[in-house]
Amino acid sequence: MTSFVPIDVSLTPELLALVEERVGSGAFKNASEVMCAGLRLLERQAVPNEPKLQRDIRESEEQLRNLADHLPNGMVYQVAAEQDGTRRFLFVSAGSERIFGVSAEDALQDASKLYGLILDAYKPLLAEAECQALRSRSLFNVEVQSARTDGQLRWIQISSAPRTLPDGSTVWDGVVFDITNRKRAEDALRESEARFRNMADSAPALIWMTDQKGRLIFANMHFDHVFGRPAAEMLGKGWRDVVLAEDVSRFLSEFLQALQSRSPFRTEVRVFGKDGRIRSMRCDAVPRLSDGGAFLGYTGCAVDITDVRRAEEHQLLLINELNHRVKNTLATVQSIVVQTLRRVPAAERASKDIESRLLALSRAHDVLTRENWEGASLREIVAQAIEPYRRSDAGRFKTEGPDIRLAPRTALALAMAFHELGTNAAKYGALSNESGRVEIKWSVSEDTEALHLRLRWTEKGGPPVDKPAHRGFGSRLIERSLALDLGGEASLRFDPAGVVWTVAAPIEPN
């Protein structure tokens, strides 16, 4: 084994161990041969394969140009700025022709063909952005307006960063994007928002919007008019300050229930106006959805209905007063009739007939008054008519039919007819003995034009019925007058087994 021969060179312990290993393996005679071999290896690595290197560089440049030339709506560039301010492009991608109408070759020959298209109003903005980037040695982004060679105005975004070369010149590596469509969309959005704001602020109602969590994010200027506070103070939870404390919990409960189900929302709430008085507001809101159907929140309005509620209260007061006076009038009529017929033959019978008819009319008025004269329930009209005859035996009447609403005129006409039928049945028909029964059944059918009522009064179990020799007032009332009032048909039959009365008439909307 050849011994290690020290050489006059400073090596680290690691390198010394490596040299000793190579000499010990027999590949080299001494450390000098090891060192010489290492130097030859370094020399070969220091001299690269020049043709291959040039080919690799060309391929990299070609890939870079292909990438830059196909950048959508963009242009990649590299421009050198001399110390005297002169600029020349070192690289320009094909996007220059798409954005500016200037070919890359023309731009490389004369940089002013691109820089000159930037509108004068925006050149100071670009210059200031470059100065700040030079000071901070960072990237800048700026949006400016430029023209194309065909005269079209375009919006462009310039992003660039500086590099300082040894000779003092600066190279800017950057990219330009055509953002005209984006700017137009932004302008359209701003215009749309301005129109909405103008419309909302001009509306004589409280217009508001929430986010998807139900938080108030928009309130129009009418809030200021109603509450004397800026609309901005209503955002978030600020609206609670103007709502009566006893209404807040109910309002929130109803709103959160609608929010959970994403359903329309309607309620009434009392608030304090700017004068401190309590006012009533009706709130309506509907879900707001994105184009994709995602829930964005609620859009709603609130209308002051204080005057409406006061008018309704006043109307109810007037109706009650009118009802009281009508009853007094009917009592007066009743007294007059009694006094007039006192000396007339069969006066007692006539007096009772008149009195009972007036009372039937009065009871019908009571039903309509409870409903503010907007209509009445057919079931309630029937129940009021038969009440005097069913107190001793509730099973004497069988009623069957849907609960429908009747117009006031129809309700009064049927009430009077039921009274006449009941009176006749009590005197001569099914209610004149202990075993008689009355069935009242009705149904509703619908055609293409309106709803139709079909009603039938049937008496059973009473004394045999004889057809009267002449028709009295009651018979004429429930046939002719009723048919005229209802605009339909009414038929009264005196069958031996019992009286049968049928009605077929359209139901007026109430």
Q: Which amino acid, 221?
A: M
Q: Which of 37 and 157 is assigned the larger pLDDT?
A: 157
Task: Give me the pLDDT at residue 417, please.
Answer: 82
Partners of 145 in beta bridges: 155
DSSP string covering 182-243? HHHHHHHHHHHHHHHHHHHHHSSSEEEEE-TTS-EEEE-THHHHHHSS-GGGGTBTGGGGGB
Mean pLDDT of 365-392: 71
Rounded to 5 degrees, φ, ψ at 260 are -65, -35
Specify burial of residue 417 (Cβ count, 10 A radius: 0-12, 13-18, 19+): buried
Task: Give me the pLDDT at residue 361, please.
Answer: 60
Over residues 233-257, the pLDDT tens digits come to 878 777 888 888 888 889 989 999 9
CA angle 183–187–192, rounded 5-degree value: 145
Instruction: Check residue 461 and report its DSSP letter.
Output: S
Sorted by where each begins, the domain ranges of the chain are: 13-46, 68-184, 203-304, 307-364, 375-506
- The domain defined by 203-304 folds into Beta-Lactamase (3.30.450)
Nearest to 123 by CA among 156, 168, 75: 156
Task: Give me the pLDDT at residue 435, please.
Answer: 85
Q: Which amino acid, 441?
A: K
When pLDDT is cut at 50, 70 and 90, the band that residue 36 belongs to is low
Task: Give me the pLDDT at residue 3, please.
Answer: 45
Task: Give me the pLDDT at residue 378, please.
Answer: 87
When pLDDT is cut at 50, 70 and 90, the band that residue 455 belongs to is very high
Task: Give me the pLDDT at residue 8, please.
Answer: 47
Q: Which amino acid, 370?
A: R
Identical fold, 68-184 and 203-304: yes
Over residues 379-388, the pLDDT tens digits come to 888 888 787 7
Q: How far apart are CA 179 and CA 177, in angstroms?
A: 6
Nearest to 382 by CA among 468, 299, 455, 310: 455
Question: Of 21-35, 65-79, 115-129, 397-411, which range is least confident?
Answer: 21-35
Task: Give me the pLDDT at residue 49, please.
Answer: 57
Cβ burial 357-384 (10 Å sphere, 16+ → b, else e): bbebbbbbbebbbebebebbbbebbbeb
Over residues 310-340, the pLDDT tens digits come to 888 877 777 776 676 567 566 656 655 665 5
Over residues 193-219, the pLDDT tens digits come to 778 777 777 777 888 888 999 888 888
Mean pLDDT of 32-37: 64
Task: Give me the pLDDT at residue 6, please.
Answer: 46
Task: Give me the pLDDT at residue 438, please.
Answer: 92
Task: Give me the pLDDT at residue 139, please.
Answer: 92
Q: Is 375-506 a CATH 3.30.420.10 domain?
A: no
Task: Give me the pLDDT at residue 346, please.
Answer: 60
Whether residue 409 contacts residue 509, with contact meaning beta carbons closer than 8 Å, is answered with no
Partners of 278 in beta bridges: 272
Q: How far apart are CA 5 and CA 18, in angstroms?
A: 14
Task: Give me the pLDDT at residue 2, please.
Answer: 43
Task: Give me the pLDDT at residue 203, please.
Answer: 74
**Three-state DSSP class for residue 44:** helix
Question: Of 39-43, 164-168, 419-423, 479-483, which range is least confident?
Answer: 39-43
- The domain defined by 68-184 folds into Beta-Lactamase (3.30.450)
Look at residue 400 and tell me whether its pLDDT is greater than 80: yes
Q: How far apart are CA 424 and CA 427, in angstroms?
A: 5
Q: How far apart are CA 66 and CA 98, in angstroms?
A: 15
When pLDDT is cut at 50, 70 and 90, the band that residue 103 belongs to is very high
Look at residue 473 and tell me whether its pLDDT is greater than 90: no
* Share above pLDDT 70 across residues of the chain, in percent, rounded to a whole number: 71
Task: Give me the pLDDT at residue 359, please.
Answer: 65
Over residues 495-505, the pLDDT tens digits come to 889 999 898 88
Residue 298: C-alpha distances to residues 198, 202, 242, 290 (Å):
19, 20, 20, 12
Among 18-27, 371-380, 496-505, the range with the most confident prediction by mean pLDDT is: 496-505
Task: Give me the pLDDT at residue 331, please.
Answer: 64
Task: Give me the pLDDT at residue 1, please.
Answer: 42
